[in-house]
Amino acid sequence: MRPELQTLLELQEIDLKILALKKELDKAPLHLNTLKEAQAKKEEELNVLKERLSSLQERKFEVEDELQMETERLKKSQKKLTTIKTEREYHALLKEIDEIKKANKEREDEILEAEEEIEKVTAEIEAKKKELDEINAQVKNEEKVLAEKTKEITTQMDALNEDRAKVEKEVQPSLLSKYMFLRDKRAGFVVVSVVQGVCGGCNMNIPPQLFNELLRDDRIYTCPTCQRFIYAKRPDETG
């Protein structure tokens, strides 16, 4: 293989490693994102429960106030009963007293129901808070893991970029720009071997004439199909 192609192959190996690390870096936060989604969902569920609790408590206070006022009214009406002169007035007041009593009984029932519901929702809130605490701990842990992983990948990439800069200097500028152009178009694989007349990049056959020339190794050849840089490799060679 020609030395300039050998250098390009070296550059390509570094670039492929950098590309793999970039992919790893992109994928790294996926688990954290999933956890954060679950965390947001749990927080929302907790908020819904808290809102439900406060509206239950509000309603309970409202009914308790009503009950208190109506109890006062009931006492007054009962007191007034002793001072009534006519039978008609007496019966009307009795009816009113009955109605207040009936309504107050309903209020007492509603307060009891609200209390039961408040107890239930309070327990649900406690359980939800525990679940949220667990997720919060997981998020915190995953953030630490991600930070470490990111640092590790970045360190590796920095080292590779340093190596890359050295190798890149050895490549002739016009060859380098061709390489860079193809690298971005061909997912990193630019320098490929030809085995038994087949291009390792696109799997197409190289014309026999070109293959014979390629074996001479007198200049850099490119695949007529995919334009990658090619070099001949005997079937018994590895790599």
- Binding residues (CB under 5 A) for Zn ion: these are 199, 201-202, 223, 225-226
Our CB check for Zn ion shows the closer of 167 and 202 to be 202
Our CB check for Zn ion shows the closer of 82 and 203 to be 203
Is residue 214 within 8 Å of 232, Cβ to Cβ?
A: yes
| Rounded Cα gap, residues 222 and 194, in angstroms | 10
In the bound complex, what is the minimum distance in angstroms from residue 223's beta carbon to Zn ion? Answer: 3
Query: Encoding tokens for residue 132?
Result: 């949220």
| Rounded Cα gap, residues 79 and 134, in angstroms | 60
In the bound complex, what is the minimum distance in angstroms from residue 221's beta carbon to Zn ion? Answer: 11
Enclosing H/E stretch for 198? strand 198-199
In the bound complex, what is the minimum distance in angstroms from residue 199's beta carbon to Zn ion? Answer: 3
Our CB check for Zn ion shows the closer of 114 and 182 to be 182
| Rounded Cα gap, residues 174 and 129, in angstroms | 63
| CA neighbours closer than 13 Å in the CB half-sphere of residue 96 | 16
In the bound complex, what is the minimum distance in angstroms from residue 226's beta carbon to Zn ion? Answer: 3
In the block, residue with structure tokens 């129901």: 113
